[in-house]
Amino acid sequence: MEETQQWYDRNSTLSTIRERHSIRQFTDEPVTDEMIQIVLKAANQAPSAHNQQSWRFIVIRGEKKRELVELVNRRASGFPKSSSVLLRMASRSIASAPAVIAVANTGDLIEHGTQLFQVEQELAHDFFRTMEIQSSAAAVQNLLLAATSLGLATVWLGILYLLKDEVLTLLGEPKGEFMAVIPIGFPLKEARGPAKRPLEAIVKYLD
């Protein structure tokens, strides 16, 4: 265990993975265009099915960010209490961050793959839909880690999936798959991530 810890201490990639955790409150210090480009380039380097890169990144600031906050707050009251609370928390994080990056699937892989695969259409659609989601999730993880390496904070607001069609419409994107809305900025205060389950509880070895 101690030897494993040493690897995390001296390897910058492993150290960044360890340091990344969700931050929901940000300072008003702006995130530069250069920083945004760096994290987006890292996201775009993620593996994707058939290298289709069937994702789109939308950088949201200013008035459009305020519109997103208003949409989430307005719709939160129409959900059960637990979901409503999480949506309101998400809107506060969006409002607090100087920038937000949304990640949406384009549907290109679903469309082209379903036409190419000589199998039942519904099965092919589900297959390529899953691959699009997996690909975009990898891009999001790259983005989160790149941001952490720059001293930035992020949070993956998966709860906004409840409003995915409305959010995509607001962002001028076609309805379809939806991956994430990610506030990004400098952390208002340092915070520790939650404890993770020990590997012994989640790993098995087969020979």
| pTM, two decimal places | 0.91
State the Cα angle at 148 between 47 and 194, rounded to 5°: 100
- Cβ neighbourhood burial of 2 (10 Å; 0-12, 13-18, 19+): exposed
pLDDT of residue 1: 62
CB 163 within 8 A of CB 68: no
User: How far is the C-alpha of 120 from the C-alpha of 107, rounded, in Å?
Assistant: 18
Nearest in space to 177 (alpha carbons), one of 49, 60, 76: 49
Predicted confidence pLDDT, tens digits, the chain (207 residues): 666 778 888 899 999 999 999 999 999 999 999 999 999 999 999 999 888 898 999 999 999 999 999 999 999 999 999 999 999 999 999 999 999 999 999 888 888 777 777 778 788 888 888 989 999 999 999 999 999 999 999 999 999 999 999 999 999 998 777 789 999 999 998 888 888 999 999 999 999
CATH class of the region 22-187: alpha beta
Q: Is 152 helix (H, G, I), strand (E, B) or coil?
A: coil
Give the pLDDT confidence of 34-76 residue by residue, as tens digits. Answer: 999 999 999 999 999 888 898 999 999 999 999 999 999 999 9
Domain locations along the chain? 22-187
> Mean pLDDT across the chain, nearest whole number?
92
